[in-house]
């Protein structure tokens, strides 16, 4: 009987090893296994290869678990029950059904051991440290898979055949999606692995390829521009009052840009004692359509001497400019430099003051707004207010959306300059 008890305990623990290895390899993240492999952790390379091809270890694990269950039921449980029966027969009341009672008790005890030591505890350990456990159990699973190659091959082919008959095709290997990466970033920020601003910067970088260049450009009504016929006095005045390192040159009005002046070039001419003229300073600009992404704009800005792109719409009308500073601001957020956009200001709990030029997706993320109305047809908070009101706003206008009350508090002509957002209950909507 002692041998049978020992055999059952051994089989229960062996079942736990199989269950732990299976869940560890399924739960292990391949990038983390790659990190362990670079650190020289034994078994990490095998674990990574097994995780990339589950068909190599899943049949092996199932063969092992099935054999454990068969041996446990055939030899362990039956022998323990038969050994326990004589002890129960000594009790007169239990003698008529001693065999059935012994078998029932053995089944209950073995089931409890199997659930606790063979399933729950090993799987909890596997979930807590999946990569480490996968690395440690990879070698035994590889050896077992080689020993059980015929059975594993037969099971793999049988399961594939059943799936094909059911019309289920093998899916290509899954890769990490952007949503999963964002979830990992959020988890890392909560755990303290990433700083809050680091997480925000990475998320903005991920959005860069999805944002059109129009969303990050400086619109034409905010440009510092110079008339092509301007003389020395106008150029000097523009240099004194301007806060930018580049001036757009327009012929007649801002709708007709013809070139770009670098402030550095103008200063070089002045310091060298040469005469200032727009034609001598002006450089030919590079033009891009407003439909390209911000990431494409960054690629075009690389190596561009003037570091500036003119953005045109589908009709050829001038919409604005984009520089490397605009891309930088889209990644790191608003920065406190001259001319930078104001950052959101928390007035008090549940109330935020927002600049109308703040990017719509930035507002969406900060206020957790969910899906925006007519998303993609505008790129700023001012555009969101226009979409919600469906008319030109006025100071004092209010509109409720996604649990927030937006109030226009400042206008610059017909442009929304500042908005106050406050939490509102559903009943108030």
Please tell me which of 76-80, 124-128, 328-332 the model is most confident about, judged by mean pLDDT.
Answer: 124-128
pLDDT of residue 418: 92
What pLDDT shows up at residue 420? 92
pLDDT at 428: 45
Residues 323 and 393 in one domain: no
Point out the least confidently predicted range of 46-50, 52-56, 219-223, 367-371. Answer: 52-56
| Same domain for 323 and 244 | yes
pLDDT at 175: 64
> Which one has a higher pLDDT value, 335 or 37?
37
Q: Is residue 75 part of a domain?
A: yes
pLDDT at 76: 64
Q: In angstroms, rounded to a whole number, what is the distance separating the alpha carbons of residues 339 and 337?
A: 6
CATH code (residue 406):
3.30.465.10
Residues 183-201 pLDDT 10s: 777 777 777 777 877 887 8
The reported pLDDT for the residue numbered 429 is 42
- Does residue 396 have a pLDDT over 70? yes
List the CATH number of the domain containing 289. Answer: 3.10.580.10
Quick one: average pLDDT of 211-232? 85
Question: Does 256 share its domain with 202?
Answer: no
Q: Is residue 176 part of a domain?
A: no
Q: Is pLDDT larger for residue 184 or for residue 354?
A: 354
In a domain, 98, yes or no: yes
Residue 201 shares a structural domain with residue 221: no
Shared domain check, 81 and 125: yes
Among candidate residues 332, 365, 388, the one where a domain is terminated? 332
**How many domains does the structure of the chain reveal?**
4
CA angle at residue 45 from 41 to 48, to 5 degrees?
Answer: 115
Task: Examine residue 7 and state whether it is found in any structural domain, yes or no.
Answer: yes
Torsion angle defined by CA atoms of residues 10, 13, 14 and 20, in that order, rounded to the nearest 10 degrees: 180
Is the model's pLDDT at 408 over the cut of 90? yes
Residue 221 burial (C-beta neighbours within 10 Å; 0-12, 13-18, 19+): exposed
**Sheet of strand 257-262: strand arrangement:** 225-227, 246-250, 257-262
How far is the C-alpha of 318 from the C-alpha of 190, rounded, in Å? 44
Q: Looking at the structure, do residues 351 and 232 belong to the same domain, yes or no?
A: no
Q: Establish if 273 belongs to a structural domain.
A: yes
Whether residues 293 and 200 fall in one domain: no
> Does residue 109 sit in the same domain as residue 234?
no
- The 10s digit of each residue's pLDDT in 283-303 is 988 899 988 988 899 889 987
Last residue of a domain, one of 332, 355, 373: 332
Which residue, 226, 228, 256, 227, is CA-closest to 244?
A: 226
How would you list the strands of the sheet with 218-219, edge to edge? Answer: 218-219, 318-323, 308-312, 286-289
383 falls within a domain: yes
Task: Kindly state whether residue 177 falls inside one of the protein's structural domains.
Answer: no
Using the predicted structure, report yes or no on whether residue 351 has a pLDDT greater than 80. Answer: yes
- For residue 203, the enclosing domain spans 182-207
**369 and 299 within one domain:** no
Answer yes or no: do 245 and 356 share one domain: no
Asked if residue 173 belongs to a domain, the reply is no
Least confident among 24-28, 32-36, 177-181, 411-415: 177-181
d(CA 61, CA 305): 61
Residue 296: CB partners within 8 Å, gap ≥ 6? 213, 288
> Residue 340: what pLDDT?
47
Beta-carbon contacts of 232 under 8 Å, excluding residues fewer than 6 positions away, are 275, 276, 277
Backbone angles phi, psi at 260, to 5 degrees: -135, 140
pTM, entire model? 0.58
Q: Looking at the structure, do residues 59 and 148 belong to the same domain, yes or no? A: yes
Residues 36 and 94 in one domain: yes
Query: Which one of 332, 361, 383 terminates a domain?
Result: 332
pLDDT at 336: 44
| Residue 334: per-residue pLDDT | 59
The mean per-residue pLDDT over the stretch 37-56 comes to 83
pLDDT at 173 over 60: no
Sign for the pseudo-dihedral over CA of 31, 36, 39, 42: negative
Question: Has residue 400 got a pLDDT over 80?
Answer: yes
């Amino acid at each position: 009987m002692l041998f049978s008890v020992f055999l059952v305990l051994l089989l229960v623990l062996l079942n736990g090893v199989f269950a732990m290895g299976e869940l560890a390899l399924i739960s292990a993240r391949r990038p983390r296994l790659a990190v362990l492999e670079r650190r020289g952790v034994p078994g990490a390379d095998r674990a990574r290869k097994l995780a990339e091809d589950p068909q190599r270890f899943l049949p092996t694990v199932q063969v092992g678990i099935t054999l454990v269950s068969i041996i446990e039921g055939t030899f362990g449980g039956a022998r323990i029950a038969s050994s326990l029966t004589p002890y129960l027969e000594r009790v007169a009341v239990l003698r008529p059904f001693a065999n059935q009672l012994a078998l029932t008790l053995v089944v209950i005890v073995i089931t409890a051991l199997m659930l606790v030591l063979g399933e729950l505890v090993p799987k909890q350990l596997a979930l807590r440290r999946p990569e480490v456990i996968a690395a440690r159990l990879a070698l035994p699973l590889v050896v077992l898979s080689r020993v059980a190659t015929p059975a594993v091959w037969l099971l793999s082919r049988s399961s594939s055949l059943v799936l094909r008959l059911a019309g289920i095709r093998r899916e290509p290997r899954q890769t990490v999606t952007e949503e999963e990466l964002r979830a990992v970033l959020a988890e890392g920020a909560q755990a303290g692995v990433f700083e809050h601003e680091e997480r925000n910067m990475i998320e903005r970088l991920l959005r860069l390829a999805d944002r059109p260049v129009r969303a990050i450009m400086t619109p034409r009504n905010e440009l510092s521009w110079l008339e092509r016929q301007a003389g020395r006095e106008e150029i000097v005045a523009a240099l004194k009052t301007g806060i930018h390192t580049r001036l757009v040159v327009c012929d007649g009005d801002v709708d007709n840009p013809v070139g770009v002046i670098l402030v550095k070039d103008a200063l070089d001419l002045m310091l060298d004692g040469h005469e200032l003229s727009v034609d001598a300073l002006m450089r030919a600009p590079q033009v891009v359509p407003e439909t390209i992404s911000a990431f494409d704009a960054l690629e075009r800005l690389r190596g561009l001497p003037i570091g500036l792109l003119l953005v045109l719409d589908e009709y050829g009308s001038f919409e604005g400019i984009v520089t490397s500073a605009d891309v930088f601001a889209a990644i790191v957020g608003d920065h406190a430099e001259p001319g930078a956009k104001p950052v959101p200001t928390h007035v008090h709990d549940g109330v935020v003051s927002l600049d109308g030029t703040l990017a719509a997706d930035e507002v969406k993320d900060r206020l957790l707004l969910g899906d925006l109305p007519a998303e993609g047809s505008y790129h700023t908070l001012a555009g969101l207010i226009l979409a919600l009101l469906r008319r030109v706003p006025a100071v004092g206008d209010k509109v409720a959306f996604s649990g927030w009350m937006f109030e226009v508090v400042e206008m610059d002509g017909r442009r929304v300059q500042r908005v106050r957002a406050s939490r509102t209950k559903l009943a108030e909507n």
